[in-house]
Each structure stands twice: as C-alpha cells, then as structure tokens.
Amino acid sequence: MKRAWIVFAIIPVLAISAGTVDALCVKVPKANLRVGPGTGYEVGWTVYKYFPFKKVGTSLSGKWYAVEDTDGDVLWIHQSLVTSRYRCAAVVSDKANVRTGPGTRYGKLFSEPVIRYYSFRVLKETGAWVKVRDVDNNTGWLHRNSCRIR
C-alpha cells in the first residue's frame, strides 16, 4: 500500500500533456526555470528575454509549462513569463557573428561575436539568414546554423 501511495503522490508533478508542442519565448527581462511546477522547486536555470523554448507539457493547475531548452533539457516556467505571439532564437554555437545584412559580405554588427545562449526576437527569415533584434534593440542578421529558432 505504501508503494501505491508514493506513485499517486508523484503523478501530479509529472503530469505532462501528450501531443502538446508549442513555441514559447521569454517576454520578461529575466526568468527562473524550475525543476518542478512551482516556486517551491529549486531554480534549475535563469534565462533572459527572448530565450526560446518548446512547450512539452502543462501542470495540472495550467499555470506552469514544462519546456525544452536549446540543449534538450526539460524544466518548468510560469505561464506569465512567456508568450507565443512572436518567434525567438538563441545562439547554439559557441559564438556567432551578428551581421548588418544577410550574408558574410556584410559587416559585423558588434566588435565581438555573441556567445552561446544569447537570445533574440526573430523579425524575418531570408534563406539561410535570420533577421533578429536583441533586448537593447540592436537589429542584425544571424546565420540559421548558429541558432535555434522557436
């Protein structure tokens, strides 16, 4: 009997909606990802505005989403911190140059490349290039292979 009780106690925490796949973006300046659906759970990672996720589930309360990050890890985020109204991208290579136009013949927007996990709002996609804007309103172009778009 004790074993059955433990199984039933765990089920609400692991309730993930089958077949739910949505693109989500962080819409606030900074957001904590939790190891479970609630503020009582440990912070697993902190991300910043425009970080993209794939929604893979919803808590029983509907207030927390299980999300997959760019590395394939699944954590939880409160629904008020994300949106599906626009698309976002995060750098997945160690570093990437942001260009002033869609191609390597264009200059670099920044003096240094951006690093892994730097995130952007997606404005437009043209072939292998993605027009993006960061939190400081810098607008430039990233090669599609250097980022993950959701």
**Rounded CA separation 59/55 (Å):** 11
- In 69-137, at which residue ranges do the beta strands (DSSP E only) sit? 74-78, 82-83, 88-91, 95-96, 114-115, 119-126, 129-133
pLDDT score recorded for residue 1: 45
> Is it true that 2-83 and 88-149 share their CATH fold?
yes
- For the domain spanning 88-149, the CATH number is 2.30.30.40
Mean pLDDT of the chain: 89
pLDDT score recorded for residue 9: 40
Who has greater pLDDT, 147 or 21? 147
In percent, how much of the chain has pLDDT > 90? 85
pLDDT in tens, 39-91: 999 999 999 999 999 999 999 999 999 999 999 999 999 999 999 999 999 99
- Residue spans of the domains in the chain: they are 2-83, 88-149
Confidence bin at 16 (pLDDT 50/70/90): very low
Confidence bin at 142 (pLDDT 50/70/90): very high
**Rounded CA separation 43/34 (Å):** 4
Q: Report the top-level CATH class of 2-83.
A: mainly beta
> Which pTM was predicted?
0.83
Confidence bin at 19 (pLDDT 50/70/90): very low
